[in-house]
């Protein structure tokens, strides 16, 4: 059996009592001690209660910012940076599949998924663009003879490859 500690603030003004839950007595006492010298008269009593429970589902720590306590929630792997393709996939999931998006956010699999899509899209681009260049005859000779035409055809190959990747990886 697990146990937890409750710091209960019993109010004088008839509003609902405030309760804060801690997994250790030391944390609960520290919170209570912050308010022992409170001279506002808002609280009738501040008590610490020991509760035994069968299961503690989640322990949540808080950070005090000014007058507010904000949940201290952190990602397991916060250093995943998304590029163009990963951001496009994330936005597509957010708009077209909001339930799947929310589930992936809550299970912390969204950024890993988007990073995987990013890597796959980049490797596909590296394969598709040279094949398209070869198919349409975009060569170094064309670049030397007519640079504007070469740029136009390269841009067309890149755009065609991007459309293929969007259809196969991003919007599926």
pLDDT tens string 32-65: 888 777 777 788 888 888 876 545 455 677 888 8
**Which of 133, 138, 129, 134 is closest to 164 using CA atoms?**
129
Please give the pLDDT value at position 80.
82
Q: How many CA atoms lie within 13 A of 168 on its CB side?
A: 13
Q: Which DSSP category does 76 fall into?
A: S
Whether residue 1 contacts residue 56, with contact meaning beta carbons closer than 8 Å, is answered with no
- Which helix (H) or strand (E) segment is 50 a member of? strand 43-53
Angle of CA points 138, 144, 150, to nearest 5°: 35
How many of the other CB atoms lie within 10 Å of CB of 82?
16
Threshold 0.85, pTM exceeds = no
What 8-state DSSP symbol labels residue 137? T
> Is 60 exceeded by the pLDDT of residue 101?
yes
């Amino acid at each position: 059996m697990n146990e937890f500690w409750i710091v209960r603030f019993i109010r004088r003004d008839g509003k609902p009592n405030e309760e804060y839950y801690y997994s250790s007595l030391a944390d609960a006492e520290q919170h209570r001690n912050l308010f022992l010298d409170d001279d506002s008269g808002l609280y009738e009593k501040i008590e610490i209660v020991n509760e035994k429970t069968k299961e503690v589902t989640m322990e949540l720590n808080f950070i005090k910012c000014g007058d507010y306590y904000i949940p201290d929630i952190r990602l397991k792997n916060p250093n995943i940076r998304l590029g163009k393709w990963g951001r496009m996939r994330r936005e597509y999931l957010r708009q077209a599949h909001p339930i799947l998006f929310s589930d992936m956010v809550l299970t912390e699999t969204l950024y890993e998924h988007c990073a995987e899509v990013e890597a796959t899209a980049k490797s596909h681009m590296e394969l598709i663009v040279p094949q398209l260049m070869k198919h349409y005859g975009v060569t170094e000779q064309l670049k030397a003879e007519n640079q504007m035409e070469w740029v136009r055809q390269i841009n067309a190959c890149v755009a065609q490859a991007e459309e293929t990747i969007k259809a196969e990886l991003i919007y599926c």
